[in-house]
Every structure is written in structure tokens, then in C-alpha cells.
Amino acid sequence: MQSIFFLSFYKYLLEISYRALHKAYEASKKVRDLQKNYLSYKTDKSYRRSAENVALYMNTTINKLESEIYWKLVEFKITQYLISILIRLCSTLSQEKISFYEFYSSTMNNSRNFIKVNRLKKRLAWIEAVLSDLQILKRGSWNEINNTFLKNSFKQSTPTSWLTYLTPKPKSMTYDSVGLVPRSIIRTISRFNAELRGQSASLVISEFRLAKYQAVASLQYLGCLIFLPWIISTLSKKIFFEPFAENWWNTSHFQIFLCVAQEEKALEELKNLEELLWLDTIMTGERQNVNDDLITHIRLMSMKLADKYNNDSIHTIIHPFTDLVAILTIGLLLIWGKKRLTILNSWAQEVFHSLSDTMKAFLIVFLADLCIGFHSRHGWEVLTRLFLDHLGFPYSQHLISCFTSIAPVILHTLFKYWVFRDLSRISPSIVANYDAMNE
């Protein structure tokens, strides 16, 4: 009975070890395929503008596959170690349990299992060769890529980078130079040449993988920039700042209002509530004990307003600290995610440049009129009031009107200068459509 248990456990461990080694072998083949696709991808001149994204994609994918290979090899070695312990244990047991050891010896001497063991040894040798190649390829640090390959916008090569072992030395600059022949014609000829040589499938697959990685990485990083600061600031507010501020404000200060604007707003609300109570008593026609009921209701309403504005004062004190936490979080994300920020910038530029000139001009006109147009003054006033209320600053209508009259005009002038100076040189057709829409 025990020999049957040992035999089933032995088969279970063998299945786990074979499956782990098979997954590691498949991951190593994916690494080889990535290297081949990268070589064919870099031979096409039309894709040199996306070399930065290719480097980031290759680095991320190869690191992921390398970790998968290592973990599967660890699983394989652990199961093999358990199998060896099981064999030694069964070989030292009594005579009734030796049947399992005899079964193991007979299976190892079988020709079919001998071929299977040789196949496993070949796969192990293949995986070790791939890992050794990866160590050679990654001997050049990624910091060198980040300093020269990314910051210089691929204007210089990176001889110490592991990518230089995968690709031949470039004969020209990474970006296509501007010449007499338009780059669209060169790109079309390059695609036609790839079709003739039968490399279109690999190029399409590489382009699709790169575009998918670029879009997913950009959206993930954009989501982190939007939601992560808000989540961290909210948690810090609930856990740290709010209990401390409530204790400090309610014990050390006896006033309720933080500024005069809150007092005026609370007084206005109390007057409105008193008028509504008078209207209710007149509509119901009750004449008895009207003054006592009004005084009681007004007292209750004033207590609720006092509690409300006391909490508003506490939150106003907390807001600068939570805003500082959010700003620090965004700064850390921008510092630690330089690679993702580069991908996001490239993806946004590709999405914008893929639009037609009419759509580009429409978006420029829409955003300009919405933010700095003649009809944006009321929006600026609302945003200024919300900002001052958020920080608890008293505001004056004259100062707000002066600010909203000057700031949009200055920004609109700078925008027109940018259109005249830079956009007309980059794309004259967009400027022509922009002028036509304004007219």
C-alpha cells in the first residue's frame, strides 16, 4: 500500500518537473524569436523613429521572460531534489517497500525513458545557453541606455548597451534626415522592399506588438498619474491629517469660522432658512407659539450650520497638506517613471500626428476657445473662486475680475505667438485650416 503511494507521488513529481522544464524551454524559444524579430525589425529604415520604444519593449519583455525561465528552473530543481530524496528513502526501507525502487531502476533502464532523459538534458543545455547569452547581452547596464539612448533622443549610439550586441552598428543617425526625397516615399519603398523579401509578416507582427505595448504602457502610466496621487492623498487625509487636525482645532481653538467669507456664507444660509420657516408658518396658518417654534428651529439650524462650517474649517486646514502629498506623489512618479513618460510622450505624438490636418486644427481651435477664448472668462472666475475656497483664502470680486481679464489675454497672445512661430513651420496646412476656422 505504501509502495503505491510512493509510486503515485513519484509520478506526480515527475509531471511537475517535466511541465516546469517545458515552460522554461518555451520561454527560452520566445527569447530567441524576439532577438530574430528585433534584428529584422531594425533593418527597416522606416521604423528608426520608434527605436526608443523598441528598446523599452525589448528590455521589458526579455526581463519578463528571463524571470519566468528562472522560476521554472527553480521549480524543476526543487522537484528533482524531492524525487532524489524519495528514491533514497525508498532504497533504505524494508523489503516490502523496495518494489518502488525496483520500478524506478527498471524505468530508468528502459530505452524509451532513456531517450526522454536525453531530451530533457538537451533542453536544459539549450536553456542554459540562452541564459548565458542573456547575461552577455545584458552585461551593458540599462543606465547607459537611459543616459545616452533616451536622454539624447537616440542621436548617439550606445556601444555599452546590450542592444548593440543584438543589432549591427547603425550607418546613419537614428532619426531620418530631411532630404530632397520626402520620407513618405522612402517609407513606401522600404515597405515594398520588405514585401518582396518576404519579411512583411514579421514586420507587421513586430509593429503590432510594439503598438500594443506602447498603448498599454501609456494608459497604465496615465492612470497611475491620475488615480494614484488622489488615492494616496485621500488615505493620508483619513489616516494622518484629519484626526490630528480635528484634535488640534477642537481643543486649541474656540472659533468656528476660518475666514470672513465663511461667516458671510453661513449668515446668508441662516437668513434663507429663517425666511423659509416664516413662509411655512404662514402657509400652515398656525398662530399659537409661533415665536417659540421659530426660535427652536433657528437654534437647531444654527447648530447644524456651526457643525458643518467647523468641519469645513478643518478640511480647509488639511487641504494644503493633502495637495502637497499629491504633488510629491506626481513628482516621484515622473522621476521614477522616466521610461514610461517617454513612451507616453511618443504615443501621444503618434496619436496626434495620425489625425488629419482638419481634425488637428479643430482640436486646437476647440481647446483654445475653451481655455483662453473670449467666452472663457466665466470659467476662469469659477475656477478662481473654487481654488480660493479650497485653500481657505478670502477673495475679492475686483481682484478676481482683474485676474480673469488679464490671464486669458496673456495666454491667448502666447498661443498665437506659438502658432505663428512654431506651428507654421511644422505644418503649414494645420495653420491654414486653423485660420479658415477662425474666420
Task: Tell me what pLDDT residue 231 has.
Answer: 93
Task: Tell me what pLDDT residue 175 has.
Answer: 38
Residue 90 CA to residue 102 CA, distance in Å, equals 10
Residue 281 CA to residue 283 CA, distance in Å, equals 6
Residue 430 CA to residue 428 CA, distance in Å, equals 5
User: Three cell numbers at 2?
Assistant: 505504501
Q: How does pLDDT run across 144-195, given as a tens digit for each residue?
A: 444 444 444 444 333 333 333 334 444 333 334 444 454 555 656 666 666 6
- 40 pLDDT band, cuts 50/70/90, is low
Residue 145 CA to residue 151 CA, distance in Å, equals 9
* CA angle, residues 247, 250, 255, in degrees to nearest 5: 150
Task: Tell me what pLDDT residue 12 has.
Answer: 80
Residue 373 CA to residue 409 CA, distance in Å, equals 8
pTM beyond 0.75, yes or no: no
Based on its alpha-carbon atoms, the radius of gyration of the chain, rounded to whole angstroms, reads 35
Does residue 96 surpass a pLDDT of 50? no
Q: How does pLDDT run across 44-61, given as a tens digit for each residue?
A: 554 455 566 666 667 777
The 8 Å CB, 24+ separation contacts for 170-177 are: 174/48, 174/49, 174/51, 175/48, 175/49, 176/45, 176/48, 176/49
Residue with the larger pLDDT of the pair 258 and 249: 249
Does residue 287 surpass a pLDDT of 70? no
b/e string for 33-44 if b means 16 or more Cβ within 10 A?
ebbebbebbbbb
The letter for the amino acid at 7 is: L
Task: Tell me what pLDDT residue 187 has.
Answer: 59
Look at 46-60, 94-108, 194-208, 382-396 and tell me which has the smallest mean pLDDT.
94-108
Q: What percent of the chain has pLDDT over 90?
A: 6
Top mean-pLDDT range of 111-115, 178-182, 209-213: 209-213
Q: Are 183 and 176 in contact (CB under 8 A)?
A: yes
Assign 3-class secondary structure to the chain. Answer: CHHHHHHHHHHHHHHHHHHHHHHHHHHHHHHHHHHHHHHHHHCCHHHHHHHHHHHHHHHHHHHHHHHHHHHHHHHHHHHHHHHHHHHHHHHCCCHHHHHHHHHHHHHHHCHHHHHHHHHHHHHHHHHHHHHHHHHHHCCCCHHHHHHHHHCCCCCCCCCCCCHHHHCCCCCCCCCCCCCCCCHHHHHHHHHHHHHHHCCHHHHHHHHHHHHHHHHHHHHHHHHHHHHHHHHHHHHHHHHHHHHHHHHHHHHHCCCCCCCHHHHHHHHHHHHHHHHHHHHHHHHHCCCCCHHHHHHHHHHHHHHHHHHHHHHHHHHHHHHHHHHHHHHHHHHHHHHHCHHHHHHHHHHHHHHHHCCCHHHHHHHHHHHHHHHHCHHHHHHHHHHHHHHHHHHCCCCCHHHHHHHHHHHHHHHHHHHHHHHHHHHHHHCHHHHHHHHHHHC
Top mean-pLDDT range of 83-87, 131-135, 202-206: 83-87
- Once rounded to an integer, what is the mean pLDDT over residues 209-222? 82
Average pLDDT over all residues of the chain: 73
Instruction: Look at residues 257, 270, 261, 263 and name the one whose alpha carbon lies nearest to residue 313.
Output: 257
Residues 6+ apart with CB under 8 A from 14: 79, 83
- Once rounded to an integer, what is the mean pLDDT over residues 51-78? 77
Instruction: Look at residues 124, 25, 120, 15 and name the one whose alpha carbon lies nearest to residue 65.
Output: 25
Does residue 32 surpass a pLDDT of 90? no
- Once rounded to an integer, what is the mean pLDDT over residues 384-413? 84
